[in-house]
Structure 1
Amino acid sequence: MRLSALYRYPLKSARAELLQRSSLDLLGLVGDRRWMLVEESSGRFLTQRALPHMSQLTALWNAEGGLTLSAEGQSSLDVPLPGAGAELRGVTIWRDTLRVPDAGDEAARWLSDFIGKPTRLVQVPQERARMLQSGYGEIQDRVAFADGFPLLLIGQASLDDLSARIGRPQEMLRFRPNLVIEGSEAFAEDGWKRIRIGDVEFRVIKPCTRCILTTIDPQTGERSEDREPLTTLKTYRQKEGDVMFGQNLVNDSNGVLEVGMPVVVLE
């Protein structure tokens, strides 16, 4: 087995960056979902679930930790990493509330124009990161603005199995993985507890619960009229009312990942 693809999402719910190589830190891939959009009035997080056109927003990570924002019809904007004196904004992501640095008014104006309502851009430093969902992981584990866990892994064979059942190819990016594994059997990842990629070991924490976001075409931002792939997934990947596809991971060390590295199941 090998690591066949590596994806980063610098801004939660915006477009993916396809990588050949990435370092890891306490929060997963360096630069992954360290930025997030929130409603200006409530601080509530924004995603493609309610705003499918976020799939057309590009946010590229730079070496200093900042972003370059771009979208059709708008000039690009470089957003620096907030400094030590940046305003802290109270935000809510699922059941978590935290105070994190705000990226400033220029970024807010740019993104409000794109989103269509007053919007703020926030960033999470490591020291302000969230704990994992109660009952999962270890006391030291942390997550940035991903839904619940630092990393998501999907086996290529699992997607191929789903595509065959639907009768047409499904884009891997509908499921927004960080790590794609080639060379395993379909859904082999369901049985893994610990794996190693290169020199880095990972704990497999729990299956990933899938939602309406998977029905959005990542290229066009349009929802599928037949609600695929959820419709088919519900026929064979549903457990206690939740649809499962992919596995959530935590890395046990920092290190570096590179496409092509061997993958070993340790447990």
Structure 2
Amino acid sequence: MFAGEIRQLWRYPVKGLRGESLRSAKVDFDGLAGDRTFGLFEPGTDKSVWGGSHPRMMAWEAAWPAQCGCADAVAGEPVLYEGGGAAWAADDAALPGRLAATIGADKGVELRPVRRDYGRMLVVFESSVRELGRQLGREVEAARFRPNVIVDTDLEPFAETALEPGTKVRLGGHEFTLQKPCERCVLPSWSPDGSNERDMELHKHVIKELGNHFGIYVRIDETVTIAVGDTVVC
């Protein structure tokens, strides 16, 4: 049905914060290794502090320390970087206070591992990002949609969200299964750089014109490695 290649890989060690660009990544049943492993929560509760309610979170970014020069390695805990570039160890006792102050979390925050019962990987198509920008009359950053994989294929814009769940998609020669199109929350309407600016027109357009879907989730049962430049075939 379509063919192309992987153009970019991204992972987000801490949900809601900006992530890191990769050259390669390990993927298994739990999703892309090191992706959305930690989250921010209100102290003493399971209530998430997320980017839709605290968009200044995206002024921060998180990355796994490089291990032996391997971009896909994950070990220990991530390093967090605030907007000005200062680096923080995940276990720094002063980090929660600094995070809360800079993102406007009046009740404070805790950084801790995320519990999840499944893994999935978000794939976004460059043709759809370009067409969305054309429809809106301005460039749209793919980063707004927080994808793990950005692919460039010969598929018509937005056609990926009409593919049947269960469709097999080969990334780097490995067979992934399409789970479903990604139903979008308000997060893409907020600037992905943490500047606290909102694009309501984009949010309304995605809801009205695209059925509130953008990108697809895929999954794999085995452990594989994918890389920028790998082929994509369906």
The TM-score bracket by the shorter chain reads 0.7 to 0.9
Could you tell me how far apart the structure 1 residues matched to 2:147 and 2:59 are? 18
Q: Which runs of 5+ in 1 are unaligned?
A: 80-102, 132-141, 144-149
Answer whether contact 2:55 2:194 (CA < 8 A) is retained. no
Match of 1:6 in 2: 9
Code of the aligned partner of 1:206:
K
* 8 Å CA contact 2:42, 2:48 repeated in 1: yes
List, as ranges, runs of 4+ consecutive aligned residues in structure 1 with deviation greater than 6 Å.
Answer: none
Structure 2 unpaired stretches of 5+: 66-73
Query: Structure 1 residue 74: deviation in Å?
Result: 7.5
Q: Tell me how far apart the structure 2 counterparts of residues 214 and 189 of structure 1 sit (CA, whole Å).
A: 18
Which residue is 2:168 aligned to?
194
Larger RCO of the pair (alpha carbons < 8 Å, separation 6+): 2
Pair 1:180 & 2:191 matched:
no
Identity of matched residues, %:
29
Moved more, 106-115 or 186-195: 106-115
* Alignment correspondent of 1:138: none
Equivalent residue letter for 1:130: R
The alpha-carbon deviation at position 105 of structure 1 amounts to 4.2
Aligned mates of 2:86, 2:204 — CA distance in 1: 38
Contact 1:203 1:251 in 2 (8 A): yes
Distance between the aligned counterparts of 2:143 and 2:84, measured in 1? 24
Q: Name 1:71's counterpart in structure 2.
A: 82
1:130 matched residue in structure 2: 116
In 2, Cα distance between equivalents of 1:31 and 1:14: 13
Query: Residues of 1 paired with 2:25 and 2:85: CA distance?
Result: 29
In the alignment, residue 216 of structure 2 is paired with which amino acid?
Q
- Tell me which of 209, 233, 258 is aligned to 2:206: 233
1:228 to partner: Cα distance: 2.8
Which of 98, 103, 111 aligns to 1:121? It is: 111
Q: TM-score, normalised by structure 1?
A: 0.75
Deviation track 1:60-91 (CA, whole Å, cap 9, x = no partner) reads 11242311112135842122xxxxxxxxxxxx
Q: TM-score of the superposition, structure 2-length normalised?
A: 0.85
Q: Given the alignment, which residue of 105, 108, 112 partners 2:100?
A: 112
Q: Deviations over 1:158-207 (max 9, x none)?
A: 11111111010100011111111102321232225111111322111111
Deviation at 1:21, TM superposition (A): 1.0
Whole-angstrom distance in 1 between the partners of 2:220 and 2:197:
33
Whether the 8 Å contact between 2:9 and 2:228 is mirrored in structure 1 is yes
Q: What letter matches 2:31 in structure 1?
A: G
The structure where strand makes up a greater share of residues is: 1
The residue that corresponds to 1:250 in the other structure is 219
Within 2, Cα distance between the matches of 1:205 and 1:43? Answer: 27
Equivalent positions of 1:80-159 (< 5 A) are: 105-115=93-103, 116-117=105-106, 118-124=108-114, 129-131=115-117, 142-143=118-119, 150-159=120-129
Q: Which shifted more, 103-112 or 177-186? A: 103-112
Q: Which amino acid aligns with 2:59?
A: Q
Q: Which residue of 2 aligns with 1:37?
A: 40
RMSD: 2.0
